Structure 1
């Protein structure tokens, strides 16, 4: 993954001397916003996995707790975990490098929402897969985020990718968010079109994540797997 990411980055930077002057802000903004997506997804998965590791999942589902309430709870825990991790990281950027991520202005809130919602969609599907197929699917909690990293355009535009990968990238809400971030940092321009397209895709991703979680929950319930989960 590192080879792909930095390979595409090198292709983009070749001959782009005007971009290099803004690279510092782009790299730090990209790293922090990527953390929002990754931690948002991982926060959902880890909160769910902790219930499985403690063999508490069966107790939750014999209680009046409904699946949609669990999804809301996982997303809320994800936000708390994310803030605990991202706020100190943003503060350290200011302390060590003099970079203030809030200089992105109010579009930062849109980027935050767009990326964490995509993370929720991925995380809910992963949780459903773990319920259905057991701990063998646990590695997906860490793998899926990194698998998307080269095509999501964190540090370089989607246009750098091969055409067949560009088609895949534009199905990801994150691609629109990172393109919008670069427009703010490099051009000082807010691209409302990118923001709206990304948020519209977020609705699809979150709806798909919720539907996937519910379908996999029902499949696990029918096969009696909810009472068998744990380390």
Structure 2
């Protein structure tokens, strides 16, 4: 090519072009507003997200309000409270981890969009339920064992000293966690991953009425029947009977078992019915928000 052969520059291509860096460096409130508006529309379209905004402050206020009220009215109880509070924290985490372990195991199948692939195989829905319950037990055990051992080292408190009653408390709270986790999983399957925050927040609604850190009798009179309709109330009252009086309350154990059988049965039925409907509607392949 001759050095005097000057050709016009190649005209820009028409159509789609790669995303270019914006030339303007001026702060644009309209762009900020557009992103905010996008998230407001997402928030507006998701009732669980809206409820979650007010949920945490309310639950924390109610729970710690009851704890404070009880300690103010029973100051002598503080002298014996150290071991009881540590046991309560560890046992509450059994229920929390049981619920979360089951819900997370189920949601991992949704996050990976694997539900449709699973049920092309001979897998049955009740087999999936059994599998995620097993995973919940494994996750809970792995999560809590180090904490229980560290409590011995840090605070010289051995929760295993409770012996066989500890096994019954662990089993009942784990089953309660399964019932809540299955109900939450059914809601997520029906309403999509926009409801996945329920896996973390639903369990805490039971905290104020479970008597974790205070006796059920310290609750307002109108709230006590609600507490006695839930298995954790029987477990934590039974735990205090073992630690304070050295007695295992068979009546409390029986109440927890009966309620757990009822609630777990209802949760399994709810999950299986929701699963059947989701498969009929094609929701197993459509797991978005």
Confirm or deny: 8 A CA contact 1:55 1:229 kept in the other structure. yes
Separation in structure 2 between the aligned mates of residue 50 and residue 203 of structure 1, nearest angstrom: 27
Choose the corresponding residue for 2:84, options 6, 26, 45.
26
- Structure 1 residue 32, shift from structure 2 partner: 0.2
Separation in structure 2 between the aligned mates of residue 7 and residue 110 of structure 1, nearest angstrom: 29
Confirm or deny: 8 A CA contact 1:19 1:186 kept in the other structure. no
Partner of 2:191: 133
Confirm or deny: 8 A CA contact 2:194 2:288 kept in the other structure. no
Confirm or deny: 8 A CA contact 1:37 1:119 kept in the other structure. yes
Q: What does residue range 1-231 of structure 1 map to in structure 2 within 5 Å?
A: 1-230=59-288
Confirm or deny: 8 A CA contact 1:55 1:230 kept in the other structure. no
Larger RCO: 1 or 2 (CA < 8 Å, sep 6+): 1
Separation in structure 2 between the aligned mates of residue 51 and residue 187 of structure 1, nearest angstrom: 46
* Deviations, residues 156-202 of structure 1 (Å, cap 9, x unaligned): 01111112211111111011000000111122221111011111111
Structure-2-length-normalised TM-score = 0.78
Structure-1-length-normalised TM-score = 0.97
Number of matched residues?
231
Separation in structure 1 between the aligned mates of residue 166 and residue 153 of structure 2, nearest angstrom: 20
Long gaps (5+) in structure 2: 1-58
- Structure 1 residue 18, shift from structure 2 partner: 3.5
When residues 68 and 34 of structure 1 are mapped into structure 2, their CA distance, relative to the original with a 3 A threshold, is: same
Confirm or deny: 8 A CA contact 1:22 1:185 kept in the other structure. no
What stretches of structure 1 move > 3 A for 4+ residues in a row? none
Separation in structure 1 between the aligned mates of residue 260 and residue 127 of structure 2, nearest angstrom: 20
Larger Rg: 2
Long gaps (5+) in structure 1: none
Separation in structure 1 between the aligned mates of residue 244 and residue 87 of structure 2, nearest angstrom: 11
CA RMSD, Structure 1 to Structure 2 (Å): 1.2
Separation in structure 1 between the aligned mates of residue 100 and residue 139 of structure 2, nearest angstrom: 9
Confirm or deny: 8 A CA contact 1:54 1:230 kept in the other structure. no
- Structure 1 residue 230, shift from structure 2 partner: 4.9
Confirm or deny: 8 A CA contact 2:278 2:284 kept in the other structure. yes
